[in-house]
Amino acid sequence: MPQPYHVLYLQVVPSAVLKIVRSQLPPGFELEALEEGSQDEVLCRVADADFLLVATTPVTEEVIAAAPRLKLIQHQGVGYDNVDMEAAARRGIPVALTPEGTTVGVAEHVFLLILALYKQLRTVEDALRRGEWLQWELRPQSYEIAGKRLGIVGLGRIGRAVTQRARAFEVAEILYYDLVRPGPEVEQGLGVAFCPFHDLLRRADIVTLHVPLTEETQGMIGAQELALMGEQAILINTARGALVDEGALYHALTREQITGAGLDVFAQEPPSPDNPLLRLDNIVVTPHIAAGTRDALRTKMVAAFANMLRVARGEEPIHMV
């Protein structure tokens, strides 16, 4: 009887999460997860791995070298900046992504952050729990999405899903910037207008980022870019924390250069408790959970294990980097 393929979930996760992951495991596969996440444990456990299921743990050259049986590095998301792509290429190990299960959750989360900022959710909830009834006081600083100009940086799967949901909120206009501009039929179908990056920052009431982290995009929102945005503009980042210069963002928020920011991601995760952004009232933060739903996890695991089955059959995986 052939030995089962060994999948190592290169992550420390709660038992309830691991139960959901295991529920989608196909026959002929066995799965283990990290228990403590130390480098020593990682290097020891990858030695027997046929497949790596990856979330946030770094997959370094050292990790790849310690996995002689490795056939596929399967990322459960779409950001692969924690994987040493050159080391994987030298070994001939494909790296694949899982866009399935990511798009809906992230697109929904964009509007969660926008509405939390526009409706002053943190302030009113904290006040109400203290016994204060701010029915009138915050009206001058509260807004609706309807009638606003939305600027989308990156018109990939998630950017397009955001445009679809924005229509339901009756935005006035959707601008977008992307290095790869789709054809006019795509723009017309989505109801979006291309806009150069700096012009988009000047014109948009809401700027939301949906690009991968690369050498070119790191720090793409800095002091210069924030200065271009209007005083009533807000910035939303559900992509990667390092896209934004956090020091510049802090200064822009404290000086009221922009109205607010909604962040699901940080340059350092988790952020240090003394990160000055966490002390501001005009920011809403969540712990990288935009795609962190039970629904998304099940969808991701079905897709990830399907890719492993392809490789086990000698086929090429889909969604390769």
From edge to edge, which strands make up the β-sheet containing 206-209? 193-194, 173-177, 149-153, 206-209, 234-237, 260-263, 283-285
Catalytic entry in 41, 269, 315, 316: 269
| SS3 assignment, position 205 | coil
CA angle 204–242–295, rounded 5-degree value: 80
Cis bond leading into 273, ω under 30°?
no
CB neighbour list of residue 199: distance below 8 Å, 6 or more residues apart? none
CB neighbour list of residue 272: distance below 8 Å, 6 or more residues apart? none
Is 35 an active-site residue?
no
Asked if residue 121 lies in contact with residue 284, where contact means CB atoms within 8 angstroms, the answer is yes
Catalytic entry in 149, 160, 240, 246: 240
Distance (Å, rounded) from C-alpha 289 to C-alpha 287?
Answer: 6
Q: Judge residue 134's burial from the number of C-beta atoms within 10 Å of its C-beta, 0-12 exposed, 13-18 middle, 19 or more buried.
A: middle
Is 288 an active-site residue?
yes
Asked if residue 195 lies in contact with residue 176, where contact means CB atoms within 8 angstroms, the answer is yes
| SS3 assignment, position 278 | helix
Distance (Å, rounded) from C-alpha 194 to C-alpha 20?
Answer: 41
Q: Alpha helices of the chain — where are they, by DSSP H? A: 15-23, 39-45, 61-65, 85-91, 103-118, 121-129, 157-168, 184-190, 197-203, 223-228, 246-254, 294-312
Is 240 an active-site residue?
yes
List, in sequence order, every residue forming a beta bridge with 73; answer none if it has no partner.
52, 95
List, by residue number, the catalytic residues: 240, 269, 288
